[in-house]
Amino acid sequence: MSTPSSALVMEARGLVKRYGHVTALDGADFELLPGEILAVIGDNGAGKSTLIKALSGALIPDEGEMFLDGKPVKFHTPIDARRQGIETLYQDLALAPAMTIAENLFLGREIHKPGLLGSLLRLLDKKKMNAEAVAHMKDLQIGIGSSTQAVETLSGGQRQGVAVARSAAFARHVVIMDEPTAALGVKESNMVLDLVRRVRDRGLPVILISHNMPHVFEVADRIHIQRLGQRAALVKARDIKMADAVAIMTGAMVAAS
């Protein structure tokens, strides 16, 4: 149809998704600039989670197109999306509690020993994984004792840190974070928001879904407001007041085009 803008890291046009009688996405658009933190906000039932699922490959939209770095893409499974460089951080973290930080970081993507030992016998290079895990955590300045600690011994914020580090380590294009501060206290939320900024500073754009307005306004560069299955507004965070954003979200106000 129309030509995609190659300046955008990720773009979606006219996404439609129906569940029987219910239309979750009704011609939703989406765009993500390089090196930004884009917050996606919207009330329940606005189609926010459906949009994110479509972008991360967890569901296939009925209609519409998606572009990654200007090239059209179609994701059939979340693994598809991951292979194209889109990492998703789920709300329940997807960490195996009994396993160590390093093991979790490389879960499903383990580093094998070189040569036949690695390819045939699938031998793990544990030293390398431990070292790299330490490096990744240091990079994001997450305070961890040692990378051989079990994840279940960590606090909520630290676990979130591990999950963020995992996404940041493997993402090539986009990191999607689903409610990263939802279960955390004040201090730990701030830690995570710092982390989000650091991920952005490494050059990875972040799509942040959140219900927490103060957090959104603290960290986002632009805000995508979803309402009734469509994008109601896409504004720079400093160009709009929090109250107005909430108003657009609930429909009390209509965004200036």
Partner 1 sequence: MRHLLERMPPVATFGPLLALLAACAFFASQTDRFLTGQNFSLILQQVMVVSVMAIGQTLIILTAGIDLSCGMVMALGSIVMTKFAVDLGMNPYLAIAGGLLACIAFGLLNGALITYVRLPPFIVTLGTLNIAFAITQIYSQSQTVSGLPDALLFFGTTFRIGQTAVTYGTLLMLGMYLAAWFLLRETSPGRHIYALGNNPEAARLMGIPAQCLLVSVYTIAALIYGIAALLAVARTGVGDPQAGQTDNLDSITAVVLGGTSLFGGRGTILGTLIGALIVGVFRNGLTLMGVPSVYQILITGILVILAVTTDQLSRRRM
Residues that bind partner 1 (CB under 8 A): 78-79, 82, 90, 92-99, 103, 107-110, 112, 121-124, 126, 145-146, 148-149, 152-153
Cα 9 to the center of its chain, rounded Å: 14
Closest CB to partner 1 among residues 141, 148: 148
CB 100 within 8 A of CB 64: no
Report d(CA 21, CA 250) in Å as an integer: 22
Tell me the DSSP string of 175-202. EEEESTTTT--HHHHHHHHHHHHHHHHT
For the record, the structure tokens of 189 come out as: 């939320």
Query: Nearest approach, Cβ of 98 to partner 1 (angstroms)?
Result: 5
Backbone φ and ψ for 144, nearest 5 degrees, come out as -130, 145
- Cβ 79 to partner 1, closest distance in Å? 5
Q: Residue 239 in 3-state DSSP?
A: helix
The helix (run of H) or strand (run of E) holding residue 206 is strand 206-209
**By C-beta, is 99 or 213 nearer to partner 1?**
99
Q: Which residues pair with 236 in a beta bridge?
A: 222
Q: Nearest Cα to 11, choosing from 71, 93, 78? A: 71
Q: Report H helices in 5-98.
A: 48-56, 78-83
How far is 158 from 140, CA to CA, in rounded Å?
12
Among residues 90 and 217, whose Cβ is nearest to partner 1?
90
Cβ-based nearer residue to partner 1, 109 or 138 = 109
Grouping H, G, I as helix, E, B as strand and the rest as coil, residue 26 is strand
